[in-house]
Amino acid sequence: MLGIKRLGLLAALVLVGIAPAAAAQAAVQPSQQDTQYLQAVHQVNLFEITAGDLAQQKGQSQGVKDLGQRFKTDHTQVDQSVQEVANQLGVELPAEPTADQQAVIDQLNNASGEEFDRLWVTSELAGHVQAIQATQTEISQGSEQSVVQLAQTALPILQAHYDALVQLAEQLGIPVPQTSASGTPSPGGTTPAPGGTTESPAPGGTTTESPAPGGTEQVPAPTQS
Maximal C-alpha separation, the chain:
88
pLDDT of residue 102: 97
pLDDT of residue 66: 98
From the list 51, 81, 225, 210, the residue with the least C-alpha distance to 153 is: 81
pLDDT of residue 190: 32
Running DSSP on this structure, what letter comes out for residue 163? H
- Determine contact, residues 168/152, Cβ cutoff 8 Å: no
Q: Count the neighbouring beta carbons within 10 Å of the beta carbon of residue 196.
A: 14
pLDDT of residue 93: 98
- Determine contact, residues 166/125, Cβ cutoff 8 Å: yes
pLDDT of residue 29: 84
- Determine contact, residues 38/86, Cβ cutoff 8 Å: yes
| Run of H or E including 225 | none
| Run of H or E including 129 | helix 113-141
pLDDT of residue 1: 52
Residues in contact with 182: Cβ distance below 8 Å, sequence separation at least 6, in sequence order: 220
Express the helix, strand and coil content of the chain in percent, nearest 5 each.
65, 0, 35
From the list 171, 190, 172, the residue with the least C-alpha distance to 180 is: 190
What's the pLDDT tens digit per position in 73-118? 999 999 999 999 999 999 999 999 999 999 999 999 999 999 999 9
Residues in contact with 116: Cβ distance below 8 Å, sequence separation at least 6, in sequence order: 58, 59, 60, 64, 108
The CA-based dihedral angle spanning residues 101, 106, 112, 116, taken in that order and rounded to the nearest 10 degrees: -10
pLDDT of residue 84: 98
The verdict on pTM exceeding 0.75 is: no
Q: Flag residues of the chain having pLDDT under 70.
A: 1-28, 179-225
Task: For Cα atoms 108, 160, 46, give the angle at the middle one, nearest 5 degrees.
Answer: 40
Is residue 217 helix, strand or coil?
coil
pLDDT of residue 209: 37
Q: Which amino acid is at 20?
A: P
pLDDT of residue 25: 46
